[in-house]
Every structure is written in C-alpha cells, then in structure tokens.
Chains A and B, each alone.
Chain A
C-alpha cells in the first residue's frame, strides 16, 4: 500500500500547488485591480488616512481637507460653496468623485507616480505622505463676478453659464454654471446625509449638478453668424461686400419665412457684411448660408471646434472635465440632398445647431488671438505636498487654427463694430477694444428665448486679454443684452485680476 500512499502524497502536493498558484494570481497579479475595485470598502477608509492635497486658485484654497476625530481622519471641505462647485466637483465617501476632484485624484490623493519620490522619502522618515496640491488658472475676481452677476441677472433667468478664457493661452479665467450646488454636504462623512443631499440635487428639475458651461448644448442663435461670416470671408466676400438682405426671406422649399428681430434691421435689398454682422441681419445670413452651401458651413464650424467629442478641460496633456460636442446638425432632405430651409435656419444658429458655452468662448478667443485657438485648461501647476517642488506647469498649446490671420482681423473688426455700434453695446470697457456677438435663440415654441453673448477684450497694445461666453437660458427678450453686460463685467474683472497666480 505504500506506493499509492506516496502517490496520494504527490496528489496533495499538486492540490496545494494549485492553491498556491491561485493565491499568487489573486494576491500578486490581480492585487491592484482588487485593491482599487469600486466594490472594495477598504478604498474608502484608506483614502482618508492621508491628507488630500488642496485645490487652489490665486492663493486661495478652494478645496481643503480638515482633520477630524472620527474613523475617517480627514473631512473634505469646499469653502467657496457653490461658486466653484462645477470646476472642483466633490469627493464623496461612497461613490465616485466628480470634477477636478476626480480628474486630478491621483495627485491630490498622493498616489500619483509623480509623487513616488515623496512616498519613498516618507517611507524612510515614517511620515504619512500627504496629497499634492493642484493650482488652478481661475481668476478669483472673474469667478466672483461671473457667479454673482449670473445669479443676479436682471432677466431673472435661473439657468445659465459663463466661461472666460485667456485667448493667448487658453487658461480658463472663470467657469460658472447656475443653478449651482453646495458640495460640502455631498462630502459629509455621514453617508446618509450625503446620500439624501445627493438625491435632492439629482431630483431637482433645474439639474444643479450639471456643468452647463461645458456640458449643455443649446441653439447658439446669431452667435453662429461669426462662423458663417468666417466662411464667407474665405469665399471671396469682404467686410464691405454687399450681400442680399431684405425684411423677409422664404427659402425655396419652405413655407416658413425668416425675418429679422425687428423690422428696422436690414430692410434694404443689400447690406455690407459688416453691417449684417453689426445689426445681426437674419435674412442676409440665411441667404449667405444658402449661397455658401451646407458643406462649407459644416466644415467651417468643424474647424472652429464643432463635432469634437473628446475635448477635456483640466490639465494639459491629461484628462479633465469632459466637454460635450457642439453640433451643426443635419441640413439634409430625407433624400440626402441639402434642404435649403434647414440650411437657411442653421445659418442663423437655429434648427439643429447646438453649441456649448465653452465652444462660444473658443470662437471668440480664436478671433481675438489672430486665428489661433488655444487648448483650454484649468490646471496651472501641480505642487508637491510640502509645496516646494513644482511637478507640472501648464505649457499652453495651440488646439487648432480655424481661420487665417487676415480673416481673424476682419472678424475682429466686425465684432468690435457689434459692441461699438450694434447689439452688444453693454459689453464695452473703457480703454480696451471689445468685440462680440449677441445671440437670441428660440428654444421650444412656447418657451422664452435663450440669450447669448460671445466676446473678447484686447488691450491697447493689441494683446487679447479675455474671451468670454455668457448664456442665460430662457431669459426672453433682452436676454442677449443682459448676457453682453455680464460678459463685459466678467472681462473687466479678468483684466483687473488675470488669475493664474
């Protein structure tokens, strides 16, 4: 019986070998996956063992971890409340973080590869490595202004967004979405409290959790005329070229006439392109669009950034907050050919054209920056936990070049005319060359119109200092003028405090 006993011994060794190999698979190969799994409750406890880094702008901490007596050793707080909520997001105990808290989690939590030297050093000294700090480009004054002015807009609009960029670098100076929310209860260690706060926000029909500046797409209305004008300038039409206009235009296939906002706008048969932009002449741009064709318009819009689905705003070269794609929509018949009615309506930013506030600001920024559109970003610098070492300083880069310098100069002149002589007068700033374009977009047939303004400010040396987009949803009549006023205020604040310090 000894031979089979020995073989049983071998079988036992094989069985234990299988156990050992399988434990290797789980505890070595799959360990990282299991350790960081969403189902793993240890992640929650462990991440509160070390102090998460600050998120700061202009020397002020916007997200800070404070020491507690509880089992979770640090509480994440947001001193700015709702003002920065859509930029920062929040870091809840259960569930996933949002905003930059999510995008920059590795660095804030101290687990980033970039911080490995700090961790190794702290392993020797026995300290717990704190998280790194993230410094933002935001201008405190511009953000304050944008938040206060949007919330107190004279149209009583409850929903809207504003975003301001430095046209020369793409640095975001202000980013506000209203209605906003207070992220502090969502980060509460009392998870029941956090859950009920979240559920309340989630059920709110105004959708306060939504970042409208990057995530909401609305019909851009007349602000889209800048794109059409750019296409026209590239197709042999000059700023002083006369284009057909008139009080009303009925496209060939449609019974519905396109008219101007008020009868006093371009009733004559011909106006210059300059005049058509300045007064926001609908009939002129509808006819221009039909003349240029859908392909030309769509291509121009694409060159300005429409249809891009993977843009993020955060750290350059890394991920960040997602941006919804702006769309020109379909301008085709059911049989595939161009539908002139759809094309005409799309040319004045209606029909299926949809744009994010960020896209609006990027159009204005490209015009102000001589035709070069810079990649927008929010993270200026990463700072080591001990605040001595700088890990990553933003190096601004061009995203694309939608128009040539000449076309940009012509567009700039026309947009300046809008603020000096046309619909955007309330955006003007003393001592600066301000340009812009208003937009009034029909939302639903029985709902008030959205008011838009996209614009820029250039200093006396010809250097662009700010580009901005403001939208007031369902603001009704006068919404675009109020948007222009708010845009002027934001740019003024951005000039006084350019941010990035």
Chain B
C-alpha cells in the first residue's frame, strides 16, 4: 500500500499530480475479470452438485448465469455512469457475492430431502432468497450511482444523514427485545417475518456525517494542541465530539449487547479522525478509551452483572470456549471444529458438514465455507477482501477533495474492520460478536448496505481517476478553493 503498484494510479494530492498521462477507463478489464469471477462461481456450483448430489444437474449453471446477467447490468451502468471507476472492485465483490449465494444454495441442498435435492428451484431456500436480495441490492447500487453523479453532493445531506444514523443505531436499543433481539444481540427491527439490521445502514449514514464534520473541523482538531511526551494532544474542548461518539458506542455495547458493532462504529470514527487530522494522538486516545471501556464493562459484568453480564459472558467464552462446549461455548467451539476439520485444503465444495454449525448461513458462514475450502481457500477470500479494501483506499488517495478522501477511506476501513471483527470472532482471535460477513452472509440488510458502500467507492474512484477535461489527456487541478477551508470556525494555516 505504501508503494503504489502502477503509475496510472499514483497518489494524487492536489498540486503534485503528474502533468500528463493517458487516462484509461479499463472497463474491458473489468468485464473480463467479472466473467472470470462468474466462471468460478459456476464451477463452484458444479462442484457442490457433484459432491452433494453425485451428479451435476443440467441446470447447475442457472444461478451463476442469473448472477452474471445481474452483474453485467451493473457493469453496463458503470460504463455509462462511472466510466473511470476502479475496474477491480466490481469483479471482486461479484465473486464474493456469487460464492455466498453458491454456499447458501449448498446449505439448501444439504437441508433438502435427498429425493428433492435434484430439482431445487432457483429462487427456493435461503440461497434463492440471497439471489433475490442480490438483485435488489445491485439495482439499489446502480440507482445510487445514477442519482449521485458527484460524491460531494451527498455532503449537502450530511446533518440529515448523521441524525438518521444515530436514530438507526439507537432504534434497536430502545425497542423492546421482542422486536429487536435475536440470539442475545439487540441489533434488529423485526416486522412480522421480515427483519432488518438498521445498523448496517447506519454505518453508511454516520460515515457521510463524520467525513463532512471532520473536513470542516480538521484544522482545529489537528493544530490546536498541547504537546505531551512528544505527542500532540488536542485541547480539552475539542475532545467533545469524540467523547460523544465514544459514549454512543459504549451504549451500543451495553444495551445492544454487541461488542462488534460498537467496535465498528468507534473504529470507524477514530480512523476518520486520524485520516483527517494526521495526529497519532487521536489514535492513542481512541484505543485507550475503547479498550478501557471494554475492560471496565468486563469488570462491571463480573462484579454487578446487569446490562454488562452479556459482555462478560462473551469474554469468558472467548477466553475458554471449551469450558462449556455444549452450552455457552457451543457456537464458537463448533466454528473452530469446522475450521480445524477443513485443515489446509478443506473437504472440497459440498464435502463438509456445515449443518453441524449453528448460524452457518449468517455469523458462521466463514467457518462453514472454511471447512470446505480449507486454509488455502480462506486465505484467497481474505485476499479478495483485502483487494476491495485497498482499492477503496486507493480511490481515497486518488480523489482530489478532502470529503471524498475521508468518505472513501472511512468506508474502506469500515469494511476491513467488519471483516476483521467477524472473522476474528469466529476464529477466536477476538471475542465473538454478531456481525455479518460482508457479501457472504445471508440477509438483505447487510447485502444492500455493502453494495451501497461499493457504489460510493465506485463513484469516488471514478472521480479520482477521471481526467478533468472528461476525455483523457491533460489533467489540471480542480477549480475553486480547496473545500477543507470552507466554514472552519477558526481557520489556521499550517506552517
């Protein structure tokens, strides 16, 4: 990351851009990568059927073909609406999404009675539902690309989105558990058989707000400081917003009983503050506050229980899941056993026993897939996630305006953090919390929110790579004053 791989996407800070380069849209590269990804998804489907059904049905290619059609649609939309967008993002996300649908369909096959397996309808079961959600999510993402021709336009709605984000975060916490609680975590809003996770959307809304707020405040936050132990610390009065977000994330931790979400929001905020201010002190303050708070919750959970008891229990399970292998530690133990059983090469697609895993279509999908594709396969999946994240960060580097940098950088980091929280959770690296695995887990909320996130990254990367005169050729600086100087209450020029 520190050394860009190709000159075409070299860092582009305002004022130090290379004078002349040929801008290339690379849409054909995107198309071939996408077709390659879909070929992999089709091959995966065939392997699953060969293993589970002992035969490959004539219709094995239908889900993969449906996905291919859908993603080709996105590709066309990008060709017209964001022609200079990063060409690796769509194929990477499509591959993950396709494998997720394939694995969920594989679960349906395992659940179905042997005689019904061969003619499982394409939209049947959770695999079929995921396919339908993919369709909807992709349409939404395309819609966002069409509506948001310039990412800076969303900053107009920053305060509305910020408020909406806070409401979405707090909504499950204030609703009664009968509506909001599933498996001990209050993260849901259930209406009948339909449930959404508002938190998935909240992270997008909050990030837009953070990016806007920090662009306005960054000079103050980064320059007004006390120096202590060789590190610049911010003034006490500037700590306010950070403390508010910290408090909200701890409230989430305690009342929604969810460490993962809380870590996600807080990490997202600290990362954007750091990107905006370039001050290591913010990172230190954030880490100390978060781990201090988590430790305090652990101690309180041990001593007084109450709302902290859930967190204490989860920490205990994390420390020794095998202490109660059939009770509290059951999920984590089964996840570890699935991963271990997969070993280096895995049991092969369709060869594992994913139904032994609780929540395998959801939190534990990574473990379920890991049993079948092994360490090598999971490493490849991690690399694909890493690719998406680093492409997002590259879009942030390339884009010229501060708001876009913060937005893309924050979104990319949030995606990475979410993968870290859930994959680390099921593999006992950190305490397990209920997070979805982006693009793999069953569920519409997560899929929609993450596709919207990708749409924003596509939009920002398009802005970063697009030649200013529109058709390639000479690149000039954007006109007008730099945005970060707008509206800052105390405008200080950096020495």
Contacts and interface: CB of A to CB of B under 8 A. Distances in A.
Interface residues of B, number: 53
Contacts of A9: 1-2, 390, 393
Contacts of B378: 23, 27
B420 A30 contact: no
A40 interface: yes
A12 interface: yes
Contacts of B42: none
Interface stretch (B56-64, B241-249, B405-413): B405-413
Nearest to A1: B405
Interface stretch (B273-281, B298-306, B452-460): B273-281
Interface string A13-32: 10110111011101110111
Given A15-B416, A26-B336, A42-B353, A5 B275 contact: yes
A5 B333 contact: no
Contacts of B420: 15-16, 18-19
A27 B343 contact: yes
A45 interface: yes
A257 interface: no
A19 B417 CA distance: 11
A6 B13 CA distance: 13
Given A2-B13, A6-B397, A12-B390, A34 B382 contact: no
A126 to B, nearest CB: 15
B1 A26 contact: no
A6 B344 contact: no
A8 B339 contact: no
Contacts of A317: none
Contacts of A5: 275, 393, 396-397, 405, 409
B339 A24 contact: no
Contacts, number: 137
B341 A42 contact: yes
Interface stretch (B32-40, B138-146, B424-432, B441-449): B424-432
Nearest to B427: A22
A153 B416 CA distance: 76
Contacts of A26: 336, 339-340, 427-428
A332 to B, nearest CB: 43
Given A1-B278, A23-B427, A12 B375 contact: no
B340 A27 contact: yes
A9 B396 CA distance: 11
Interface in B333-368: 333-334, 336-337, 339-344, 352-353, 356
Interface in B1-56: 1-2, 11, 13
A40 B356 CA distance: 9
Contact of A37 (B337, B344, B423): B337
Contacts of A45: 353
Nearest to B334: A39
B379 A23 contact: yes
A47 to B, nearest CB: 13
A3 B271 CA distance: 13
Contacts of A34: 336-337, 339-341
A10 interface: yes
Nearest to A3: B278
B375 A28 contact: yes
A32 B340 CA distance: 7
B172 interface: no
A12 B353 contact: no
B264 to A, nearest CB: 13
Contacts of A40: 337, 340-341
A13 B402 contact: no
Nearest to A22: B429
Interface string B259-290: 00000000000010011101000000000000
B189 interface: no
Contacts of A10: 1-2
B57 to A, nearest CB: 21
A41 interface: yes
A31 B343 contact: yes
Interface string B69-98: 000000000000000000000000000000
Contact of B340 (A4, A12, A16, A35): A35
A34 B344 CA distance: 13
B385 A2 contact: no
B386 interface: yes
A386 interface: no
Interface string B362-384: 00000000100011001100100
Interface of B: 1-2, 11, 13, 271, 274-276, 278, 322, 325-326, 333-334, 336-337, 339-344, 352-353, 356, 370, 374-375, 378-379, 382, 385-386, 389-390, 393, 396-397, 402, 405-406, 409, 412-413, 416-417, 419-420, 423-424, 427-429
7 contacts: A3-B278, A9-B2, A24-B375, A27-B340, A30-B336, A34-B339, A39-B333
Interface of A: 1-6, 8-13, 15-16, 18-20, 22-24, 26-28, 30-35, 37, 39-42, 45
